[in-house]
Amino acid sequence: MHTQVAILGAGPAGLVLSHLLSLHRVESIVLETKSRAYVESRIRAGVLEHGTAQLLCETGVGERLKNQGMRHEGINLGFSGVLHHINFAQLTGKAITVYGQHEVVKDLIAARTSSGGQILFEVADVSIDALSTNRPRVRFRHQGENRELTSDWLAGCDGSHGVSRTSLPPGALRIFEKTYPFGWLGILAEAAPSWEELIYSHHEDGFALFSMRSPSITRLYLQCKPDEDLTKWTDERIWENLERRLSFPGDKKVRQGRILQKGVTAMRSFAVEPMQYGRLFLVGDAAHVVPATGAKGMNLAVSDAWCLSRALDNFYSEGRTDLLESYSERCLRRVWKAQRFSWWMTSLLHRFDVNDAFELRRQLAELDYLGRKLCWSFLGG
């Protein structure tokens, strides 16, 4: 089998890339280790930046997003028991859309399959080679058979644990990494959201995030140990902690409901340079991971995919290679800005050491400063 662009991974990066390439009439084949049902129900991100939502809508995969996505003009920062509203629309003229990553994935898979795009699900034993030749190769098993796919270019969109980055020779990439001494315990609950917008809550017991996925499903997170034992967290203990960390004046409190899903996510920052090796391009989480606090991961994946699709379109339509050559440099500029923002949000809102009273006061002073600064710039200062 041969194609112009072989894509490893049917997450947001791989699917957006395949979708955009098809609009430019560039052929691709996507290989995915999991089943279609699995990737369509994997609960992850839920905040789409203005640019991401706009790209999906403008390229014909935004119908459900427009109908079901929830436009939020701001977020709330909670600290010292008080909520402070930050109005993005007034500050920047832009808003965010709350729409589950798995819904984006469903929309993209539907678009690819209905226009004859090839996605092979449940592939196994994936390996890559010949990356420095003009015929990179992927070997894999599919439906019990050993298969081989050659391509002009290979896109590694296989997430932070995929094979594309880890198959490269030692020293090919420079790795930058930071791990945080905490994780997030996340739940998905059958409960209508109590507040209209997200709440990022700083609390002396640890950070909490109130968010939602739809008018009847709430998504909530609690700062916890990175290797937290979930069996120690009964539903009762989770709700009790959420209520305490999300308690603000007024009559609203966290609405409880059946817990549909529980999980622990470690928090880390990770990036490689460059995001290219021979004819392999790394896209999305395969090249960088940000702590979820900044809600940047999926948006970065979409942005990388857009950048690469443009470069490949230029190559096939005009024979130009300059955009392919500068792919890594252009993506990394944005990646490092997102790394800085995500690190800053994470450092501002989490307790690194519950016994460090100085750090607690410093964070509160910074949050207070931030609240005043944003209100001030708001008034045109």
Q: Applying CB under 6 A, which residues contact ligand RFL?
A: 8-14, 31-34, 39, 44-47, 101, 126, 157-159, 162-163, 186, 265, 284-285, 292, 295-299, 301
- Cβ within 8 Å of residue 53, ≥6 positions away: 62, 65, 69, 96, 97, 99
Name which of 303 and 363 has its Cβ closer to ligand RFL. Answer: 303
* Structure-derived torsion over alpha carbons of residues 260, 264, 268, 271, reported in degrees to the nearest 10: -50
Is the peptide bond prior to 226 cis by the omega test (within 30 degrees of 0)?
no
Please identify, using beta-carbon distances, which residue of 112 and 296 lies nearer to ligand RFL. 296
Cα gap 286→277, rounded to integer Å: 13
- Name which of 78 and 291 has its Cβ closer to ligand RFL: 291
Whether 163 contacts 127, CB under 8 Å:
yes
Shortest distance in whole angstroms from residue 114 CB to ligand RFL: 20
Amino acid at 282: L
Q: E strand or H helix at 217, and its extent?
A: strand 217-224
Of 157 and 324, nearer to ligand RFL (C-beta) is 157
Q: State the amino acid at position 189 in one-letter form.
A: A
Shortest Å distance, C-beta 85 to ligand RFL = 19
Q: Which residue has the tokens 């798995």?
A: 102
Closer Cβ to ligand RFL, 191 or 275, answer by number = 275
Amino acid letter for position 174: R
The total of other beta-carbon atoms located within 10 Å of residue 169's CB is 8
Q: How far is the CB of 165 from ligand RFL (least distance, A)?
A: 10
For the bound state, the minimum distance from the C-beta of residue 381 to ligand RFL, rounded and expressed in Å, comes to 30
What single DSSP character describes residue 169? P
- What's the CA gap between 244 and 203, in Å, rounded? 9
Structure tokens at 245: 């960390």
Strands (E), 274-367: 276-277, 280-282, 288-289
CB-nearest residue to ligand RFL = 11
Q: Which is nearer to ligand RFL, 78 or 183 (CB)?
A: 183
Least gap, CB of 297 to ligand RFL (angstroms)? 2
For ligand RFL, give the closer residue by CB, 212 or 311.
Answer: 212
Is the sign of the CA dihedral 316, 317, 320, 326 positive or negative?
A: negative
CB of 353 to ligand RFL, least distance (A): 23
Quote the least distance from Cβ 84 to ligand RFL, whole Å. 20
